[in-house]
Every structure is written in structure tokens, then in C-alpha cells.
Amino acid sequence: MPTTKKIALITGANKGIGFEVSKQIARTGVTVLMGARNKAAGEEAVAKLVAEGLDARFLHLDITDAATVAAAAAKIEADFGQLDILVNNAGIIDHADGPPSTASLDAVDRTLRTNFFGPIAVTQALLPLLRKAPAARIVNVSSGLGSLTQNGDPNYFGAFAKFLGYNSSKAALNMLTVQLAYELRDTPIKVNSADPGYTATDLNENRGTQTIEEGSAETIRLALLPDDGPTGTYSDKDGIVPW
């Protein structure tokens, strides 16, 4: 059934940036579907937002598992008939990833499957429902490490972080943003990449220098863009990031 209340899906919402993005978007009155591959962790995260009086619901979603992607899309269609906001947030860094001379091929493969193929599968499954919303937003949670320009700059503060699989996966995710924004240029749908910045989460054993609130800000802004907002961009909380 079409609904007037906006519906958002955040992937990897049980912790870290995905959890914070879910909370902040739900606080604006949006119904938030919290995607998680682990049912117990997902339901625990949902319970925290429901305890705050927010409209949050668990959605079982492993973005590398075609069956759960299809089931999640079917459930959103049956329950809501449309999707207003998709945040492709779920991502990994693999411990066997590393610089080009030593990165494990299996690790590069695993990383691309989650960080690149996952968002493609989720986006393709949900695009029919995003088209049914009046003005949908898609945010791909990228990274400054996905910037080819910054990877080639020895003075970039993240220059030490040469993870062939991870950095390539985010560069590829940026290509999804650019190409999808182009494909949807004559629709009200906006597609953008967010760089959270180096943020203390489990992804980096909490070594990141920003708080989770700071690291979530740009993703939230892009998820709630007004109709005159941009599409096909790559930005962090301080502005445009070079591709």
C-alpha cells in the first residue's frame, strides 16, 4: 500500500555508522528499516530505537546473499509499496587485505563482493520501489580511501592506508554512484556517495579520530536532500571530495 510516511532502508544498521544514521533519520519522522545479516544483533538495535519512541523495524538482509536481498525487496513492497531512502552502508575491511604486492586475492574478492557487488544487488532489487516514491534518495557510503586522486597523493593524511581490495571497492562504488546518477538524471531520484571520514567504529578497532555522530553527518545530509540538492556527487562533511 502506498503510504505518506517516508520509508528508509539502511544496510548494516545494527552498529556503527549504520546504527547512528538509522537513529537520526528515524528522529525526523521517517520509518526506518534496519537491515542486518545477524537477526539477534538487528533486533537488539531496533529495540534501542523503539525504546526512544522511534519507528524502527528489523529487516533481515545479508547484502551478499541474493535470497535475502530478494526477500527484503518483496517484504518492503508488500508492507509499504515504495521506498524513499536507500543507504548502502554495510561494508567490511578484510584482515588479509593490504598493499598491491601482498593483498590476498581471496580478501580482495570478499571485499568487492560485500562493498561493491552487495550495493549493486540491493540497489537493483529496490530500484522499482525507489521509482514509486515521489523523490527517492540513494546514498552509497563510500570512503576517502576510494578516491583515486587521494590515493595518488603522498601528502594525503590517509596515504598510509593502502588496502587494495577496500580502496578499490570504494572507487568502484563511486562508479556506481556516477553511472546510476546519470541513468536516473531525468527522474527525481538523487544518487550520491558519502565519505564518513576516519570514524571510531569496529571497522578500525575504534581507532578513528571522529565520533560516530561526526562520521554519520554527511550520509544523513545526503539521505535527506531537498529537491534542489545535487546528484552524482562525492562529499564529506566539509564538502566535495576529489574522485
Active site residue ranges: 166
Residue 24 within binding range of ligand NAP, rule CB under 6 A: no
Instruction: Rule CB under 6 A: choose which of 31, 114, 174, 231 binds ligand NAP.
Output: 114
Residue 130: DSSP 8-state: H
The Cα–Cα gap between 133 and 7 comes to 9
Residue 62 within binding range of ligand NAP, rule CB under 6 A: yes
What residues does 29 pair with on adjacent strands? none
Residue 121 within binding range of ligand NAP, rule CB under 6 A: no
Q: Which is nearer to ligand NAP, 90 or 184 (CB)?
A: 90
Count residues near ligand NAP (CB under 6 A).
31
Which among 6-14, 96-104, 155-163, 178-186 is the span making contact with ligand NAP, rule CB under 6 A?
A: 6-14
Instruction: Rule CB under 6 A: choose which of 16, 125, 167, 190 binds ligand NAP.
Output: 16
CA dihedral 26, 77, 138, 224 (to 10 degrees): -30
Residue 199 within binding range of ligand NAP, rule CB under 6 A: yes
SS3 at position 15:
coil
Q: Which is nearer to ligand NAP, 62 or 84 (CB)?
A: 62
- 51: burial class by Cβ within 10 Å (0-12, 13-18, 19+)? exposed
Cβ–Cβ under 8 Å, residues 22 and 45: yes
Residue 204 within binding range of ligand NAP, rule CB under 6 A: yes
Question: x-or-dash pattern for ligand NAP, window 124-143, by CB under 6 A?
Answer: -----------------x-x
Residues with Cβ < 8 Å from 43, sequence gap 6 or more? 58
Residue 174 in grid coordinates: 563511486
Q: Which is nearer to ligand NAP, 81 or 235 (CB)?
A: 235
